[in-house]
Amino acid sequence: EYKLPIKDEL
Amino acid sequence: MNFFRLTADLMHLLSIFVLLLKIQKTRSCSGISFKTQLLYAVVFVTRYLDLLKWISLYNTLMKIFFIASSIYILYLMKIKFRATYDPSQDTFRIEFLLGACLLLALVFNYTFTFIEVLWTFSIYLEAVAILPQLFMLSRTGEAETITTHYLFALGAYRGLYLLNWIWRFYTEHHIDWIVWVAGAIQTALYSDFFYIYYKKVLHGQKFELP
């Protein structure tokens, strides 16, 4: 299953 | 968090403080593109729609700072120091940038949801948001030294993010194509500027285009 890249950067 | 990313974020903060210092000290926003600053405000507002989603205190505080400072800069330029802004120097057509980035975001995104498309739009828009400023610089052919420090810090911030992505790829297998491609383009746009900044400003001369 494809997971979105985690958005922890600004 | 790693060294490159922390340094990059601090450079980003520094760039904003340098810009605020330039405006407050000279009591003028001459040489600064309002259009670029407007695009940055759009970038932060559309990217940080997830402001209430908790990642860390650092993350939340930085997001609030970037949104607030970008809107404050618009206020300084449009209201407080309005008389010092010369629109005839700031003629880049940002409608095309906004339209192209929106179109790209609608086509090339990770998932087709409202939040995700706007996030992607903000990534693409940030990559090109500096163009009105660089265009203004090339039209006038020179810049105040403090303005060039602002631009250098802003460019360095993105350059350091490239190193951060390489680091994260090897240490965490973190992959984010959209951000990588946009970030590489964004950094490349500064290459001419970096070259002249290095040749002139760092050797104590005024920033002038050859």
Chain B interface includes A3 (CB < 8 A): no
Tally the residues of chain B: 210
d(CA B124, CA B109): 11
- Show residues of chain B in contact with A8, CB under 8 Å: 55-56, 59
8 Å CB contact of B175 and A5: yes
pLDDT at B210: 83
Chain A interface includes B171 (CB < 8 A): no
Q: Which residues of chain B have pLDDT under 70?
A: none
The pair phi, psi for residue B142, each rounded to 5°, is: -155, 165
The pLDDT tens digits for B107-147 are 999 999 999 999 999 999 999 999 999 999 999 999 999 99
pLDDT greater than 70 at residue A2: no
Choose the closest CB to A10 out of B62, B111, B176: B62
Q: What is the mean pLDDT of chain B?
A: 97
Chain A interface includes B176 (CB < 8 A): yes
- Show residues of chain A in contact with B13, CB under 8 Å: none
pLDDT at B157: 97
Q: Tokens at residue B136, please?
A: 């203004």
d(CA B190, CA B52): 33
Strand partners, B142: B208
pLDDT range class, residue A4, cuts 50, 70, 90: confident
Chain B interface includes A4 (CB < 8 A): yes
Q: How far is B66 from chain A (nearest CA, A)?
A: 9
ipTM: 0.89
Residue B53 gets the label, from left (phi > 0), alpha (psi -120 to 50) or beta, of beta
pLDDT greater than 80 at residue A1: no
8 Å CB contact of A7 and B50: yes
On the 0-12 / 13-18 / 19+ scale of CB atoms within 10 A, B206 is exposed
pLDDT at B102: 98
Residues 6+ apart with CB under 8 A from B192: B134
